Amino acid sequence: MRPRLWLLLAVQLTVLHGSSVLQQTPAYIKVQTNKMVMLSCEAKISLSNMRIYWLRQRQAPSSDSHHEFLALWDSAKGTIHGEEVEQEKIAVFRDASRFILNLTSVKPEDSGIYFCMIVGSPELTFGKGTQLSVVDFLPTTAQPTKKSTPKKRVCRLPRPETQKGPLCSPITLGLLVAGVLVLLVSLGVAIHLCCRRRRARLRFMKQLYK
């Protein structure tokens, strides 16, 4: 069977809705020019004597999308390439229930959506596709800057000025001591709340930059 005959039918049926029978991973991948890419298609049904086809679509799925037949995996013959395909760049092999499309020395023109497919009787079953983006330079990931833990600020009470003169009465001293205690308690509560806020902020920043 010539691939182009049924491929025209496949375009008409469209691959907008992939099947859970064929699970493709990853859904999206970006690689640098001249690198190798491995795309996986896992079959959830028994495929002892069935062929797995790999297609490429260079634009978003639509009614007039063009699909290229790249290669297929055959249990007896191994990889069978499509017409006008650089055979040295493309290979298909099987690993248990997974069918791997191996692309080497990829170029920006290799970007597109890659689909695996099985030909049933009479239906065609597609995977949901893997979008491949080939770029000359990968974006660099900015490393999070390490922020030093702020030092705890120690609040110090001002020293009371020494006053010359007669001693204060016990009532006055009692009021002063009570006032100092209230002030110390208030400062302790304020410092505790301040430290809790800082710890919460640090935890949030660590989670954000993970």
Q: Read off the pLDDT band of 131 (50, 70, 90).
A: very high
- Answer yes or no: is pLDDT of 74 > 60: yes
> Tens digit of pLDDT for each residue in 167-199?
567 888 888 888 889 889 888 888 888 888 888
CATH architecture of 19-135: Sandwich (2.60)
Average pLDDT over residues 35-63: 82
Of 160 and 27, which is predicted with more confidence?
Answer: 27
Question: Residues of the chain with pLDDT > 70: what percent?
Answer: 70
Q: How far apart are CA 60 and CA 189, in angstroms?
A: 60
- Answer yes or no: is pLDDT of 11 > 60: no
Going from the C-alpha of 99 to that of each of 89, 170, 184, the distances in angstroms are 17, 92, 71
Dihedral, CA atoms, 114, 118, 123, 128, nearest 10 degrees?
-30
> Tens digit of pLDDT for each residue in 77-113?
888 999 888 889 999 988 888 999 999 999 999 999 9
- φ, ψ at 30 (rounded to 5°): -120, 130
Highest mean pLDDT range out of 29-33, 55-59, 73-77, 160-164?
29-33
| CA-based nearest residue to 136, from 34, 56, 27, 36 | 34
Which amino acid is residue 83, in one-letter code? E
Can you read off the two tokens belonging to residue 102? 């191996």
Beta-carbon contacts of residue 31 (< 8 Å; ≥ 6 apart): 37, 106, 132, 133, 134, 135, 138
Average pLDDT over residues 24-43: 94
Of 17 and 113, which is predicted with more confidence?
Answer: 113
> Tens digit of pLDDT for each residue in 146-160?
666 666 666 566 665
